[in-house]
Amino acid sequence: MGEWTFLGDFLEKVHKHSTVVGKVWLTVLFIFRMLVLGTAAESSWGDEQSDFMCDTQQPGCENVCYDKAFPISHVRFWVLQIIFVSTPSLVYMGHAMHTVRMEEKRKMKEAEMEARENKNGGDTYYQQKCSVAEETKLSGWDEAGGQIILRGSLLNTYVYSILIRTAMEVAFIVGQYVLYGIFLETLYVCQRKPCPHPVNCYVSRPTEKNVFIVFMLAVAVLSLFLSLAELYHLGWKKAKEKCSRSYKASPSTAPARLESAPQAERAQMYTPPPDFNQCLSSPNGKFISPFSNKMASQQNTANFATERVHGQEDAAGEGPFMKSSYVESPEVASECAAPAFPENYFNEKRRLSKASRASSKARSDDLSV
């Protein structure tokens, strides 16, 4: 286990800045994979070649048959698996440390500016404090706790690292199955030069090896499950946040937008919802994604188009207008969020314009996240 200290030290740091599920995953990695591999599995595979016996006297036959049976030993395969599965966490750690360093630099600059301001006069102090608070939120560093909060680009890195980790895990599990299947057979029949004919070769300690193979496979599947659970946990939280934010901001938002929010790419979870009303109400226009401007113009175009079309048929009342629109374009009725609603419902909810009522159907291409 002493040989694993290089990786162990790095992963200790990652442990501090992970989510709860991430910490469980790291513990599983340390105890059930590294420790078991280092102590038990290594000694079980220690004599794998010396006790690989072939029923032949032909010199070199055993060597080539062992090489054919085990292109890469299980133990080395698992070592590579552990290293490749841990690597994404190191990338996340690098990003986190970079964030910490940027934060420290910012604090130093802040302190310098403060000192300068105190000499000159305290005019711009409060302005700086406010912008600093904004930047803190974006960077994801909690000054009070000294902990890294998963936010913004750091959250994206974390999610990417889990995705890559999951992919690596799957790749190695599939790779192990392709190379060896699940269980090791006691007997391996080998035909390769210089063996003169098919030769029986006997694997050393097959049952013990099978126990460890099944154990390591089970731990790999458990790690995979934990990674998926962490992704789900992060994705669900973000989707919930997004839904509640977008629902609070615009009650008249088409349901399609809320439905497609959880389906949005998890990596883009943090992108603010492209909601036209939110765009209007938010004071800081610079934080809104460019999608909302596009949607606003689309909505406007649609409104103008329908107003031109329906402008001439002067509605006798709101009732007949509604009926006629359903009749003329049946696909509106199917896509419309509430065709079963009573007529009066729309009359009460939306009074912007006659045309906007017709174009208030839920379009599937509205959300362009």
Nearer to another protein, 37 or 234 (CB): 37
Q: Rounded to an integer, what distance in angstroms lies between the CA atom of residue 315 and that of residue 322?
A: 9
* CB of residue 3 to another protein, shortest distance in Å: 5
* CB of residue 81 to another protein, shortest distance in Å: 11
* CB of residue 205 to another protein, shortest distance in Å: 16
* CB of residue 79 to another protein, shortest distance in Å: 5
- Per DSSP, helices labelled H in 140-184 are 152-180
Helix (H) or strand (E) holding 53: strand 53-54
* CB of residue 96 to another protein, shortest distance in Å: 13
Nearer to another protein, 65 or 269 (CB): 65
The CA-atom distances, in angstroms, between 160 and each of 66, 163, 326, 362 are: 39, 5, 46, 32
Q: Rounded to an integer, what distance in angstroms lies between the CA atom of residue 158 and that of residue 126?
A: 33
Contact by Cβ (8 Å): 366, 295: yes
Residues within the interface to another protein (CB under 8 A)? 3-7, 10, 42, 49-50, 58-60, 62-64, 66-67, 70-73, 75-76, 79-80, 83, 87, 90, 94, 98, 193-194
* CB of residue 10 to another protein, shortest distance in Å: 7
Nearer to another protein, 42 or 103 (CB): 42
Contact by Cβ (8 Å): 369, 259: no
Q: Give the three-state DSSP class for 18.
A: coil
* CB of residue 212 to another protein, shortest distance in Å: 16
* CB of residue 101 to another protein, shortest distance in Å: 9
CA triple 264-269-272, angle to 5 deg: 100
* CB of residue 290 to another protein, shortest distance in Å: 31
Q: Rounded to an integer, what distance in angstroms lies between the CA atom of residue 221 and that of residue 309?
A: 60
Characterize 16-50 residue by residue with b for buried, 16 or more Cβ atoms within 10 angstroms of its Cβ, and e for exposed: ebbeebbebbbeebbebbbebbbeebeebbeebee
Nearer to another protein, 77 or 276 (CB): 77
Nearer to another protein, 82 or 358 (CB): 82
Q: Rounded to an integer, what distance in angstroms lies between the CA atom of residue 201 and that of residue 252?
A: 74
Q: Give the three-state DSSP class for 297.
A: helix
Contact by Cβ (8 Å): 54, 65: yes
Nearer to another protein, 95 or 357 (CB): 95
Nearer to another protein, 61 or 279 (CB): 61
Q: Rounded to an integer, what distance in angstroms lies between the CA atom of residue 205 and that of residue 183?
A: 12
Nearer to another protein, 39 or 353 (CB): 39
Tell the burial category of 300 from Cβ atoms under 10 Å away from its Cβ (0-12, 13-18, 19+). exposed
Nearer to another protein, 171 or 229 (CB): 171
